[in-house]
Structure 1
Amino acid sequence: MADTLKKRLWQWLPVVVVFFLLLVSLSLLNLITLSPEKADRYGDWPLYPSAVLLVLLSVIILFNLFRIFNQWRTRQAGSRFTLRLMTGFLGLTLLPVLFVSLFSINLIGTRIDRWFAVEVGQALDDALHLSQLALSIRRQEHLAALEQLKRNIQGAESYDIALLLEHFLSSGASEVLLIDSSQRLVAQALTDTKTLIPRLPDRSMLRALQTRSYYYKLETDGPEKLSSRVAVSLHYGEQNQYSGVLTALFPVAELEKSLTESVENAQREYGSLEFQRDAVKNAFRLTILVIMVMTALFSLWAAFVFSRRLTRPVRTLVEGTLAVAAGDLDKKIPVSERDDFSLLARSFNTMTKRLSDARAEREQARRQLQQEHDYLHVVLEHLTSGVITLDENGVIRRVNSAASNILRQPLLEHAGKTLPELSAAVPQLQPFLDIAQSQLQDTTGSTDWQSEITLSTDEGKLILVCRGAALPAASSSRQGSVLVFDDVTDLIQAEHDAAWGEVARRLAHEIKNPLTPIQLSAERLTRKLSGELNEESASFLKRMTNTIIQQVDNLKGMVNAFSEYARAPNLHLQRVDLNALVQEVADLYRVNEGQMHLEVQLDGQLPPLQLDIHRIRQLLVNLIKNALEALEENHVSNATVILSTQFHPDVRQALLNVKDNGPGIPPELLPRLFEPYVTSKHKGTGLGLAIVKKIVEEHGGHLTARNLDGGGAIISVKLPVS
């Protein structure tokens, strides 16, 4: 309540100040218009309130103009309608004010000019001349009477002078005085017996009589008494031996006095007005101009105020509509019973409430769907099986992380593509994707299918078991699909290794039993028959028995290899410095490397590992021996084998690489390189790399092989760092 009252106070404060200044300025303008003679006395300060009012109105209007222009420039709600309404209001207000002001200025100028017409001035001049003529006649009469008294006094006795003066009062004079040259009263006659000592004339009268023969002046005796004083100089005495001044005072009649004063006042007022005619006209014009400007500014201000009040409901509705369009469905418009927009405001509030309820329901449904989506995402992300979902158009919609891990490809980056597009982007997956695509397009059989797929990757052969099924259609006859696949490479490899282990164990058992009797029998034959045969036959026998013994030894080595491959792991783990072990084994081969060159590149940051030192030494021997034999068989010039170690602290993993610069591994053998009896060499059992793979798996590591782009091959052993 207090905030609303304060807001209204600040809204009405400019209005109160403006109206107060308006009253003051109009009062002062009326003062200088009706009393132009006061304008010079007051100066310019009566115009100051008007100037302050004009400046205040101009500031208010400029502020409103700036606000309207800013609203129009930023396209705020109701700004264009406010501008049009304000323009129309100004047109209806300013044009009549302008016409009335121009007509008033012209009319006032004409009327003022008529006040000072020639006839009025001539009449006043004639009246003034007539009054002056009447006074002149009365002056001549008084002078004639006084001249007659002067002639009577000259040569008269002193006692006759007083009688003559008393007799002169009958001519209408109120007093008559005879003054000598020393300004002493000689004789007097007064009609007012109460006056004992009359007022003697001043020296100005004496000085005037020195230059001319008479003196005449109107004098006032009190606020309402007007008299005319007449004086002449004379010589008196029996011999006219004395000089003096004879003066008389004649009262002026009341009517004559009134008429004379009226004419003089009218003439003086007319002269003053005539002199100030331009000032009066300018004062009236200034007043009308100021009032016109004030009216125009007030009209402009009123246009702002009323246009904003009239457009406020529309502006509020537009703002509410824009707020709803921007997503603010909680927007409410105030409803006023006194407003014609109340029905529209209620309808708008009802609409926003329904929209808000609908949005709340939609948001609740979205949250439920999101919860289900999150639940499904968690389930898919924790599945060990790879899952790929396709929509009815065959476009990939969802891929879990297990699918990317199994296929060794970032499938999430290819979401939104079809299977043929993915096959073109990732050629390594083409066999898998071709089979899946053909199964999805096959509409003759069941919608559920299963297939085993083999892929060749950089890390070796990958065997997948893939299952597909159709998803239920929601609204169309077409339906999506889901692919679920598992990596069974290790399972099949384990079965394969177990089978080979069993074969190796049986072969070792079956072959090892007759080998010793065969070797012993060959040795006995040599001892028994060497002395009974001639030299040639004995030499032949010796060669044959040596061949038998050598082949038996070879078979024993093969049997030992079979036993080694089939033997169950029995590790003795300890902290081993892999760098030192690699250097030790490399030094053994450097002694007899001949034409071969063996390099060692060790990572000094590699920490000790938990290893079975004898098994890892066997692993190193097999890898180095295999690389050197491959280079020797292919007669590689400048043959080089590089042993290197690396430490990856982010994944806590040690990497052992054996790289050569030979012709590389035949591509057809690369997927089956670590299987038993798979070899490209002309000699050997084909179990060396199989045993290496088994040792790596016993230590929880991973083994890969690949050809290098510039020639040669590299075998990488990844071991965990605890």
Structure 2
Amino acid sequence: MGFQQLSQAIAFDTESQEPVAPSRMGMLALAASMRSGLSADALRYHFLAEQLSEVVFHLDGLGNLTFLGPTWTSLTGLAVEDVLGQPLVEMVYPEDRPRVRALLDAIAARVQASFRLELRLLASGGPRWVELAAHSSPTGQGEVLGTLTDTTERRQLQARLQQSDRLATLGMLVPGFAHEMNNPLAFMLANLDYLLSSMGDIAGSAPAPQVAEWREAAGEVREGAERLRQIIGHLRSFRGESGHGPVDVNTLLDTVGQMVGSTLRSRGRLVRDYGARALVAGTESALRQALLNLVLHVVLSLPDNGDTEEHEVRLVTREDGEGHVVVEVHDTGPGIPPEQLPHVFEPLYTEREAKPGPTLSVCRDIVRSLGGSITVTSLVGRGTVFRVTLPMVS
């Protein structure tokens, strides 16, 4: 179909007032532009710009936006008509503006013909990363043509890959660290036990209060050493293991609670509400990772250095009467907005752009591999509940 024939077909649909599919809205806009007197070549380029996933833009000699593709709105949440006529640099994150302004000036002065730059755009939902590709217009009047390509997800993926790589490296080093720490710790515990048992021999030659202080001090040191021994044991247990259950979920949650204790201490308190006494099938290390990811994600949702008496993380276990153990993780955090709930278990989802937490998609995949399921409910301002359902061992 030729260009003129296409415009006639569009006009026919408009006159008959038949429903027009969303995919043809751009064609209707094209026909409207044709009636306004634009040339066929200009209409072709406008139509092409409307079909691209990138945002096509045009700047006049002063750097003001004179054309924007409709994907601008889906990228930024801002209406095209509200932005046209404004300088492009005003749409850029303040820290990135000097670089953009300098490069646009270089094009206007014909020092260079084009450039590519990754930067942040101001958007209704927060800054969006884009790749700006700008080219000098062939008119030679200092105008600029270019595209904006959304790179936000790519940057998030790169950040998570880097984080995963660091964790993988750390995971390879942990067994060696744990071994090196465990040996001197064993000497410390043995010597502390010796000192505590020997204090009775000198009780007669020293004042009773002095002996009591010695015992208390040595006991506190031994308690701290024992806690270190337990933490080292948890780290060593993160090595992969084969075979399936049975696994005691309550015991596993106790371990997870100890591991997130230092992070939770400045945010709230941990409450245990165990009702289930059944075992579940699964690999202990995999289930531990899933529960740790989930609980740590919940802990990080609480405000740091806030009122620790106001906030809590509650670990609940119960049986559902249908052969499953249900693990619930409750928090009193800010909650998750309804529009974000469907995306919680997606690989790139995070509520904390600056400080990304554990990936819940990994948690979901592990739970599914064990024959279970995971769901989430939330009320903004009231908190969130994650619910994991796992098959019991018969």
The structure showing larger relative contact order (alpha-carbon pairs under 8 Å, at least 6 residues apart) is 2
Greater Rg, structure 1 or structure 2?
A: 1
Shorter-chain TM-score range: 0.3 to 0.5
TM-score using structure 2 length: 0.47
